[in-house]
């Protein structure tokens, strides 16, 4: 049994720890509100060392901050108070259509005002863009989660429709169930319900039309109120200009993005590596998963030191075109 003095000390320590945690919780709640305002009104997304701060989860925000000690130059976890201060400064600035990594700002001891001025100068008007997912397999469903997990905004990418092959009755319920449950990524932290009357799915309060079609060229997207759309083809069926060009024959389509390596003259693009080469191209590819995994690292190494030759080993998930 502890002596009274030691017990009092221990009790006081626990009270201090609880008080500190409660204070961090309150800061996280305040941070969530400012982050939502930033996203909705200024189209600004905030990350912490590359990881998105979940505006619906206090626990996730606290956990992300706790594990930043290994990434911060001083070996200490980033304080939520520091993140909150920068985010408040962002909300009072004229920065729009930008992504700001507060972890990198803090770790590099950057001048926040100067960094925000640079972000403001580089920011562009990010008007709403209608998005159509052509295909609703694994990639399509994860894209749906990414597009609709954030708070709703009148700017940026707006998922309007999903196109799948004609299916029997009950297909909408099956699609909704697959969206909600994933064996790798877990459950979807949001609401999903079926709108049978309008042949669509309500995801976090936003209606997404489900269109059944056998071929891209037979769809008139304008009939669904969709125009100048970006079609993201994640079926893997078409990988050349002739096949993917069918999307451009549809009314209401402006550009096409393929989520697999493309052939012919279609550019395979990795963001921040060669994304500046897209130009006026109407069809581009997001390249392969392996390419996206290794190319950013190779670019940094090559730009800084140069690469003469190399060998890459990859461990890949089992895919449906392989014999088990």
Residue ranges of domains in the chain = 4-122, 129-294
Instruction: Say if CB 191 and CB 205 are below 8 A apart.
Output: yes
Token match 């600035």: residue? 93
- Measured between alpha carbons, how far is residue 35 from residues 60, 125, 152 in Å? 14, 19, 12
Based on C-alpha coordinates, what's the Rg of the chain? 23
Query: Would you please indicate which residues are annotated as catalytic (active-site) residues?
Result: 289
Contacts of 297 (CB under 8 A, 6+ apart): none
Across the chain, mean pLDDT equals: 87
Distance in angstroms (rounded) separating the CA atoms of residues 263 and 265: 7
Distance in angstroms (rounded) separating the CA atoms of residues 26 and 20: 10
Model pLDDT for residues 151-184, shown as the tens digit of each residue: 677 778 899 999 999 999 999 999 999 999 998 8
Instruction: Say if CB 68 and CB 49 are below 8 A apart.
Output: yes
pLDDT at 2: 46
Tokens of 32: 């969530």
**Residue 213: half-sphere exposure toward Cβ, Cα within 13 Å:** 21
Res. 200 pLDDT band, cuts 50 70 90: very high
Model pLDDT for residues 223-239, shown as the tens digit of each residue: 999 999 999 999 989 99
Res. 317 pLDDT band, cuts 50 70 90: confident
Q: Tell me the mean pLDDT in the region 182-199.
A: 90
pLDDT at 40: 82
pTM above 0.75, yes or no: no
Distance in angstroms (rounded) separating the CA atoms of residues 149 and 316: 26
pLDDT at 324: 67
Going by the DSSP 8-state scheme, the letter that residue 42 receives in this structure is: I
| More confidently predicted of 71 and 145 | 145
- CATH superfamily name and code, 129-294: NAD(P)-binding Rossmann-like Domain (3.40.50.720)
Res. 125 pLDDT band, cuts 50 70 90: low
Model pLDDT for residues 9-42, shown as the tens digit of each residue: 777 667 777 777 788 889 999 999 999 888 888 8
Instruction: Say if CB 249 and CB 217 are below 8 A apart.
Output: yes
User: Would you say how long the chain is, in residues?
Assistant: 324
Give, for 107, the enclosing helix (H) or strand (E).
helix 102-107
Q: Tell me the mean pLDDT in the region 128-156.
A: 88
| More confidently predicted of 12 and 53 | 53
């Amino acid at each position: 049994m502890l002596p009274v003095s030691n017990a009092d000390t221990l009790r006081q320590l626990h009270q201090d720890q609880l008080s500190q945690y409660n204070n961090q919780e309150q800061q996280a709640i305040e941070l969530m509100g400012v982050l939502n305002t930033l996203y909705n009104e200024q189209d600004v997304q905030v990350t912490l060392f590359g990881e998105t701060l979940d505006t619906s989860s206090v626990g996730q925000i606290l956990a992300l901050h706790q594990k930043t000690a290994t990434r911060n130059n001083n070996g200490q976890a980033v304080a939520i108070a520091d993140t909150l201060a920068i985010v408040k400064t962002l909300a009072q600035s004229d920065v729009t259509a930008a992504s700001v990594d507060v972890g990198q700002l803090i770790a590099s001891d950057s001048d926040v005002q100067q960094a925000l001025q640079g972000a403001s100068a580089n920011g562009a008007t990010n008007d709403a863009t209608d998005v159509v997912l052509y295909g609703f397999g694994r990639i399509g469903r994860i894209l749906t989660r990414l597009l609709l997990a954030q708070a709703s905004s009148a700017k940026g990418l707006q998922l309007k429709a999903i196109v799948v092959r004609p299916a029997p009755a009950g297909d909408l319920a099956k699609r909704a169930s697959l969206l909600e449950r994933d064996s790798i990524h877990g459950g979807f932290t949001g609401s999903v319900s079926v709108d049978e009357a309008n042949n669509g799915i309500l995801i976090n309060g936003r209606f997404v039309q489900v269109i059944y079609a056998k071929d891209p060229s037979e769809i008139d997207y304008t009939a669904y109120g969709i125009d100048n759309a970006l079609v993201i083809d994640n079926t893997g069926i078409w990988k050349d200009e002739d096949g993917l060009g069918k999307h451009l024959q549809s009314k209401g389509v402006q550009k096409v993005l393929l989520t697999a390596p493309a052939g012919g003259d279609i550019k395979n693009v990795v963001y921040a590596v060669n994304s500046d080469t897209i130009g006026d191209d109407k069809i581009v590819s997001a390249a392969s998963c392996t390419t996206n995994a290794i190319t950013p690292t190779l670019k940094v190494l090559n730009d800084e030191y140069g690469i003469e030759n190399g060998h890459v080993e990859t461990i890949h998930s089992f895919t449906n075109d392989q014999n088990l």
